[in-house]
Structure 1
Amino acid sequence: MSRSTKTFKKWTLLSVTGTLLLSTVLAGCQSSSNESAASAKPSNGEGTSESGKGIDHSKPLTITVYDNAANYQGEQTGWYGKLIKDKFNITLNILAPQVAGDQLYKTRTAAGNLGDLLIVDNSQLEELIPAGLVMDITDKLKNTQFLSKYVDNHFKPFNAAFDKVNPDGKIYAMPTFEADTSPTTFSEEIPYSSPIMPWDYYKGVGAPKLNNLTDLLNVLKEMQKKYPTTPDGKKIVPITLWKDWDGGSMENVRWLSNWYGYEQPDGTSTIQLNAKGDIVPLIDDNSMYKKILQFYFTANQMGLVDPDSASQDWNKVAEKLTNKQVLLLWYSWQRGFYNSIERGKNGDGNVAVPIADTRIIQNSDAYYGNGRVFALGSKAKEPERIMEFLDWMVSPEGLRYYTNGFEGFNYEKSADGKFKLTEVGQTAFQKNTPVPDQYGGGGYQDGQSKINSMIMSDFVVDPETGEFYNNNYWSSTIEANKTALTTDWQKTYNATNATEYYTKNNMIDIVPNINTSLGSDSSDIKNKRSQISDYVKNTSWKMVFAKNQEEFDQLWTKMKSDAVGLGWNDVVAVDTERAQKIIKMRNDATTGK
């Protein structure tokens, strides 16, 4: 399965993957040397799509975007807003259930119009097709210049998985964040979830080998004592948690379970699955979910958990990451809030710090996407213009803006024809660097795309350079990243990067990334799942902050009993059946079927 659909709230920062970690969402500022963005209509350059031929752009068009990935609600402004306004005469009005609440989906579907452009979860797509709320775009894709390249290998296989509601094999949606590598390749230099800490602080307490989670807690305690505040006096916390990403369970628990080989597949809320196909219910006494809850509880007993955790939201956490106020990170992209080449030269930055007894489960590149889709609402205004915009988004020009910003501002062309980041581009996201008024003004981070999602990811090769759009994998960035931070890490671990280290030491299982339809819940199961999820999440938080081990154990025992009363066994049966589909598809992908 793919990365959690809930987890893509994180892509506000973007798909940060390298040591420099400017992230993908970060990217997207336009160059003062690129005049195409200033034109009132699509340019005749590489970003122009075939679907744009004969389209009238004279009238302004406001597209209502229903967007599960967005952390922002309202009109797209700033440099990206100006870019698409000048290029397409389009304004994006974003509706974000993460901001407005889940009721937004129910209200708008009940009214028969979710929006013009939809970024929704796979499970929602399966409901929207038979409800007639999404548009068949099969023929519209034939008229595109760039999207059409991905139809046979990416879009068709995905849509075919919705055979129960799409027996004719039409194309209703395009999956998000698709890599154009292969279904079994993992390209990133660090697993999506693994232990990450500030290298200078870790070395400052002797860089002791970490054999298990107990060792991790002990070193965090040592770091906390030695580095209680930032240079400007802000309090440093070893572990910080947040509630607003919680889905079927406590999200911060879910992703640390990956360290020990268990994932919670998208579309399920009651089970965890390992690479061998073993299925374990969350509330099983031997579940990894319980082990990670115990880890957080113990950490809190040691004074290591941020007291703001139960009340803060993700935005507050992001501030702390930017200020280097957090000692333990676990998402690869979180490094992008602080890491930079300049800091790396001084040995300063967040890096992977392996724990010997971990066995990470890692999905391969999202060749078929990862849990969400782009679709057009059935009542979309001027669908040809929306398709033109989406076609541009996957064009070289569109991908460069989204992932790397403005040529001349964020990056520039080298003598060898490849790209390299400018000094401004290296920290534009972290510093929210001001953008010239002629390109929209405001801060760079403030003006980035609020869509917060892509059709094709930055693990697609730019035809002009022969390198990924992801600037962390540019040869120039790799060379620039040969800083004191990276070279010291490589010498310590005898590996080029974290993925290589984990692979060489048999500490990672890379499984095929399966993006499919797992079926939608019946009304009975949906109701039971909702009640169970709320109960499990609330109890999980209580367990982390329990006053002692006795209360922790009592809460666990009560949760097991109460969940059964809420219909746990019925929901587990559904999730187990869904997991079997994942297991089979992974086996087929591995054997080449």
Structure 2
Amino acid sequence: MKKAVAGAIALSLAVLTMAGCGSNGNNGSHAGEASSAAPTGSNAGEASSAAPAGSKADDMSDKIKIEIMAASWTGGGWPDNNHPIIQYIDKKFNVDLQIQWVPNANFVEKMNVVSASGKMPDVIRLDPTMFQKWVGQGVFLDLQPYLSDYPTLKNVATPESWALLNPEGKTYAIPIYETPQNNTYVRSDWMDKLGIPMPSPDEFTIDKFYEIAKAFTTQDPDGDGKQDTFGFSALGNSLQLGDPQLIAAFGLANGWKEENGKLVPVETQAAEWTSFLTFMNKAYKEGVLDKDFITNANFNEKYAQGKVGFALDMHYQFSQTTNAQLQAVAPGGKFVELSPPAGANGERGTRTPTSGMTKVVLSKDMDDEKRDRILKMFDWWVSPEGEDIIKNGIEGVQYEKAADGSYQMTDALKAEGEGRQSLLWNWVLRGNTNTFNIYKWSAPEWAKGMEQSIVNAQKYPWKNASDGYLSASQTYTDKGAELDEKFLQTVLQIISGKKPVSSINDAIAEWKQNGGDKIIEEVNAAYQAGK
């Protein structure tokens, strides 16, 4: 797939993302992404002395300092560079690994400062927007001439993912593997209390969704004698409203869709918006939709407080955390997974990230020895042995093996927090094994549930067709956020009854007139050139 065009800025239409990614509390795009296979590899706590494959007969006798800059999220990065996993890597590759964790909210500012200084870190993990901003400025190393010497690293992604967002014939970054993992969840204890059978995928239409959601609102499922529960909630900060499964059921695009060889933006889908907004306005008026949805920052508290029946766009790990929190206010409370609801024409979908949009880049300002050492390190990093160490940690430090062959976290890791051992895997670079949050000590039932959840999410892909093309539009760069925000305000006013549903047509016309038509023209020019 040729993509000579500068590609994708993550749409403000999406809740999130990458790689994850701004997101609400349930998409897990950072430290909570899902996985589908148990890790394999060496359990040894000592670094192997065998030199990994590479383009040079490097005996790694020279110690090399390697600086890595990466975004951090909840909990922040490790406080220093003496973490046992860093020490392991330092010993294995004779390097001095220096990790600079930058809070994600400040990462763009930090990147601008670093660039202005003229001294880029050796390795940086970038979201697609920042990658596209800098890729044409000659600051990243072209990896294409070297990848054949690092077969494990080369096979970490498909050729399409390697090419994504790169100029033709160039490979300026290692693509980060992504997988869909978010699904629809429902309070099964409420279903049981109200005598509602769990619907099969064929039975779970958008009408059935509304029927159940209304029962959750009107039939006192929590038994407190008050009408203080809601069928579902939403977020008022993006056009997806945090409910992509509902959006997809009405045929609305995940930002953009391909139709008759052209890319069509969601803002122009008048018929689909009319149907969706009629549905949402009815839900608001009847109390089925959480009345406070416009001011919601995330869903976490709503779900954990036991006042919402459907959780849309939730991943398995978050469902298990929420279920544990529910016990304090609703003993027996439990969210279980459903397929996304099907629309009138059979449409259904789960928000699907495009694998390879988030990138790991190397600075061009390094000598051959450092370049080869980093590529050797990353080639091992995404191997089964490397994954075992980078994700699970070191036996005897982060986990222990019992006599019966099972594993358990050490007291040290319990104090630090499960998952904290895998920050390099989560927030720097990971392989394509889908093992994101399944660890050696994970309970078999939990691991099986995580695996199945990913399989289920992959059944209903709902991709953004503009990935790889959107930022080719200068008009979108200049005006896109402003146009999207104005369009969103009309959507919120319609849902809350402040404007009639028909006013969406005026919003569409205004969006097109004030720059949308030009965005469509520019994006489609890039799309045709990139085919």
Give 1:571 deviation, angstroms. Answer: 1.0
Which position in structure 1 is the counterpart of 2:313?
331
Which position in structure 2 is the counterpart of 1:12?
30
Which position in structure 1 is the counterpart of 2:383?
395
The alignment of Structure 1 onto Structure 2 pairs a total of residues equal to 488
Which position in structure 2 is the counterpart of 1:44?
49
Give 1:569 deviation, angstroms. Answer: 1.0
Which one of the candidate residues 217, 225, 230 is aligned to 2:210? 217
Q: Does 1:535 align with 2:486?
A: yes
Which one of the candidate residues 169, 188, 200 is aligned to 1:199? 188
Which position in structure 1 is the counterpart of 2:329?
none
1:426-505 paired onto structure 2 within 5 Å? 436-437=411-412, 441-446=415-420, 448-449=422-423, 451-452=426-427, 454-459=429-434, 471=438, 477=444
- In the alignment, is the contact (CA less than 8 A) between 1:64 and 1:95 conserved in 2? yes
- In the alignment, is the contact (CA less than 8 A) between 1:239 and 1:306 conserved in 2? yes
Which position in structure 1 is the counterpart of 2:358?
372
In 2: Cα distance, 1:501 partner to 1:129 partner: 32
In 2: Cα distance, 1:448 partner to 1:292 partner: 40
Which position in structure 1 is the counterpart of 2:101?
94
- In the alignment, is the contact (CA less than 8 A) between 2:393 and 2:421 conserved in 1? no
Q: Does 1:574 align with 2:522?
A: yes
Give 1:532 deviation, angstroms. Answer: 1.2
Amino acid in the other structure paired with 1:44: S
Distance 1:480 1:558, change over 3 A: closer
1:93-242 paired onto structure 2 within 5 Å? 93-97=100-104, 99-100=105-106, 108-109=114-115, 115-122=121-128, 124-144=130-150, 146-150=152-156, 154-155=158-159, 157-160=160-163, 165-166=167-168, 169-177=169-177, 192=181, 194-207=183-196, 209=199, 212-224=205-217, 238-242=231-235
- In the alignment, is the contact (CA less than 8 A) between 2:244 and 2:351 conserved in 1? no
In 1: Cα distance, 2:309 partner to 2:429 partner: 30
Amino acid in the other structure paired with 1:355: P
Amino acid in the other structure paired with 1:200: D
In 2: Cα distance, 1:252 partner to 1:51 partner: 46
Q: Which string of whole-angstrom CA distances, capped at 9 and with x for unpartnered residues, describes residues 240-292 of structure 1?
A: 33466x4xx44525553333454325xxxxx4447x86865433363545544
Give 1:108 deviation, angstroms. Answer: 4.9
Q: Partner of 1:133: helix, strand, or coil?
A: coil
Distance 1:517 1:554, change over 3 A: closer
In 2: Cα distance, 1:294 partner to 1:566 partner: 26
Residue segments in structure 2 that go unaligned for 5+ positions in a row: 1-6, 22-26, 91-95, 327-331
- In the alignment, is the contact (CA less than 8 A) between 2:68 and 2:124 conserved in 1? no
Which position in structure 2 is the counterpart of 1:517?
468
Q: Partner of 2:137: helix, strand, or coil?
A: coil
Which position in structure 2 is the counterpart of 1:252?
242
Q: If the length of structure 2 is used for normalisation, what is the TM-score?
A: 0.70
Cα RMSD between the aligned structures? Answer: 5.3
Q: Partner of 2:268: helix, strand, or coil?
A: coil
In 1: Cα distance, 2:54 partner to 2:383 partner: 11
Amino acid in the other structure paired with 1:239: F
Distance 1:440 1:139, change over 3 A: farther
- In the alignment, is the contact (CA less than 8 A) between 1:43 and 1:87 conserved in 2? no
Which position in structure 2 is the counterpart of 1:21?
none
In 1: Cα distance, 2:475 partner to 2:342 partner: 44
Residue segments in structure 1 that go unaligned for 5+ positions in a row: 19-23, 180-190, 266-270, 426-434, 460-467, 487-495, 585-593
Q: Partner of 2:287: helix, strand, or coil?
A: coil
1:292-371 paired onto structure 2 within 5 Å? 292-306=276-290, 309-314=293-298, 317-318=299-300, 321=303, 326-331=308-313, 333-334=315-316, 336-338=318-320, 348-353=334-339, 355-357=341-343, 358-361=346-349, 369-371=355-357
Give 1:227 deviation, angstroms. Answer: 6.1
Give 1:570 deviation, angstroms. Answer: 0.7
Distance 1:383 1:87, change over 3 A: same
In 2: Cα distance, 1:444 partner to 1:79 partner: 19
Q: Which string of whole-angstrom CA distances, capped at 9 and with x for unpartnered residues, describes residues 421-471 of structure 1?
A: x5x67xxxxxxxxx533x694222455417536442224xxxxxxxx7875
- In the alignment, is the contact (CA less than 8 A) between 1:321 and 1:337 conserved in 2? no
In 1: Cα distance, 2:419 partner to 2:443 partner: 23
Q: If the length of structure 1 is used for normalisation, what is the TM-score?
A: 0.63
Give 1:205 deviation, angstroms. Answer: 2.1
In 2: Cα distance, 1:91 partner to 1:512 partner: 36
Give 1:527 deviation, angstroms. Answer: 0.7
Q: Partner of 1:197: helix, strand, or coil?
A: strand
In 2: Cα distance, 1:80 partner to 1:331 partner: 37
In 1: Cα distance, 2:211 partner to 2:123 partner: 49
Q: Partner of 1:12: helix, strand, or coil?
A: coil
Q: Partner of 2:522: helix, strand, or coil?
A: helix
Give 1:551 deviation, angstroms. Answer: 1.6
Distance 1:341 1:441, change over 3 A: closer
In 1: Cα distance, 2:209 partner to 2:223 partner: 21
Amino acid in the other structure paired with 2:175: P
Amino acid in the other structure paired with 2:521: A
Q: Does 1:264 align with 2:266?
A: no
Q: Partner of 2:136: helix, strand, or coil?
A: coil
In 1: Cα distance, 2:300 partner to 2:428 partner: 18
Give 1:132 deviation, angstroms. Answer: 0.9
Give 1:5 deviation, angstroms. Answer: 9.5
Give 1:105 deviation, angstroms. Answer: 5.2
Distance 1:130 1:565, change over 3 A: same
Give 1:110 deviation, angstroms. Answer: 5.4
